[in-house]
Amino acid sequence: MTSSWATFIALYLRIGLLGFGGPQAHIAMLREEIVLSRGWVDADRFDEGLGLCEALPGPASSQMAIYLGWLQRGLPGGLISGICFLLPGLLIVLALSELWRNGQSIPSFTTALQTLQPVIAAIIWAFAWKLLRNRRAGWQRITAGLVMLGGLLNSFSPLTFPAGGLLLLAGLSRWLIAQTPSAPTPPSAGNAGLLAPVPLATAPLLFGSWGLLGQLFAVFFKTGLLVFGGGLVIIPLLEQQVVSLGWLNSAQFLDGVAIGQISPGPVVLTSAFVGYQAAWQEGGVSFAVLAACTATAAIFLPSFAFILVGASFLQRLRQRPSVKTVLSGLLAGVPGAVAAAAVPLTWTAVESGVIWVQLLLFSLALWLSVTGRMKPLPLISASLMIGLLLEWLR
């Protein structure tokens, strides 16, 4: 079935605006609206695309929006559907970013942010636990442990082990271990696509000398190439870089993750918050908006490129055993990378307010998250209300 461009655009904007609840909720909405209600795409093509998007780096829900638009209207359709899906969330993050800046001098606002930080840290730990729980094989847990060790050394020692490099190393190590001594077959030309993140991740270094916008593009483009396993994977990939470059401190980064969580669309839109705050001091609101859009475009550019340029090739490539092996190793390391990033963030969160209050909030939020009794959005809302209540009681 076909639709007018106006109907097409309006639908993806509406899905983007109502896209709360995480990637699975987004994908369920896309299936309901596009497959079941309107019949624009058949169920088999939808499932085929979902399998591809789950195997690619980047947020699966935004990639599905791009993929479905591409199926319906070719390259222009994929570009427009992806932008429409992301645009409402981006605009909301921009508004909240300015509100965050203006609220720094308001006591009730800062107290609310203090109570929010241990809750966000708990949500990150719960995410890491859920990922690890799904990795039942011994080698998967060993890989996660080694990646976590590398991440902790990166945070607490002079040694440098970037999270993205550790994840790539985990994938390539798994591939090497899987080779038999009698048949050490290196990746063939047909399998070379699985190593695409390596040269692509170094290419943006060319833009590093182009001022702040170039730095933002380089950092977020590289991150977009390595977001495997869920949107919160941006935390180990980004946090240390953002802090070391002086764009935000750890507590402010946690605030940005919270804003990404409470906004519609993928949590990866935290990129807009980081870009906005990094540029605000240099050029005010207009430059901050430009920087936020640059960071957002850079982190989602790999997703658009993979779907719009190489979907059919990647669909075949992901079936190759060597590609599956590398991805299995990389995904096994993701829980360790997230947990390693959560350690210093948790310490920062506990120190940001009254220690016993922060520890209590962290413990309660961790229990509620791990047991599934509360989703992130209501948890965040409750913590903000607790913060406002504490300020009122002072």
Does residue 150 have a pLDDT over 70? yes
pLDDT at 336 exceeding the cut of 60: yes
What is the rounded average pLDDT for all residues in the chain?
Answer: 85
pLDDT the model gives residue 192: 41
Residues 6+ apart with CB under 8 A from 45: 71
In terms of Cβ atoms closer than 10 Å to its own Cβ (0-12, 13-18, 19+), residue 192 is exposed
| pLDDT tens digits, one per residue of 279-333 | 998 888 999 999 999 999 999 999 999 999 877 777 677 678 888 888 888 888 8
Confidence at residue 344, expressed as pLDDT on a 0 to 100 scale: 87
Top-confidence residue, 275 or 341: 275
Q: Which of 60-69, 153-162, 380-389 has the highest mean pLDDT?
A: 60-69
The total of other beta-carbon atoms located within 10 Å of residue 193's CB is 18
Which of 111-125, 190-204, 317-331 comes out lowest in average pLDDT? 190-204
- Of the candidates 336, 330, 339, 335, the one whose C-alpha atom is nearest the C-alpha of residue 56 is 330
Contacts with 4 (C-beta within 8 Å, 6 or more apart), sequence order: none
Q: What is the mean pLDDT of residues 213-231?
A: 88
Is pLDDT at 60 greater than 50 in this prediction? Answer: yes
- How many angstroms from the chain centroid is the CA of residue 84? 19
Q: Is the pLDDT at 193 greater than 50, yes or no?
A: no
Q: Say whether pLDDT at 354 is over 90.
A: no
Q: Which residue is listed with tokens 């780096």?
A: 57
Whether residue 229 contacts residue 131, with contact meaning beta carbons closer than 8 Å, is answered with yes
Alpha helices in the chain (DSSP H): 5-17, 23-30, 43-55, 60-102, 107-133, 138-156, 163-178, 197-202, 211-224, 234-244, 250-262, 270-317, 321-351, 355-370, 376-393
Hey, CA dihedral for 357, 343, 132, 377, is it positive or negative? positive
Query: How much of the chain exceeds pLDDT 70, in percent?
Result: 90
Q: What is the pLDDT of residues 243-262, one digit of tens each?
A: 999 999 999 999 999 898 88
pLDDT at residue 180 tops 70: no
Q: What is the mean pLDDT of residues 362-384?
A: 89
pLDDT band, residue 196 (cuts 50/70/90): very low
Residue 127's pLDDT band, with cuts at 50, 70 and 90, is: confident
Residues 6+ apart with CB under 8 A from 184: none
Which has the minimum average pLDDT: 159-163, 242-246, 254-258, 272-276?
A: 159-163
Which residues, other chains included, contact 226 with Cβ-Cβ below 8 Å and sequence gap of 6+? 57, 163, 164, 167, 168, 197, 201, 233, 237
Amino acid at 162: P
pLDDT above 70 for 2: no
SS3 185: coil
Which class for 101: exposed (0-12), middle (13-18), buried (19 or more C-beta within 10 A)? middle
- Mean local confidence (pLDDT), 224-230: 81
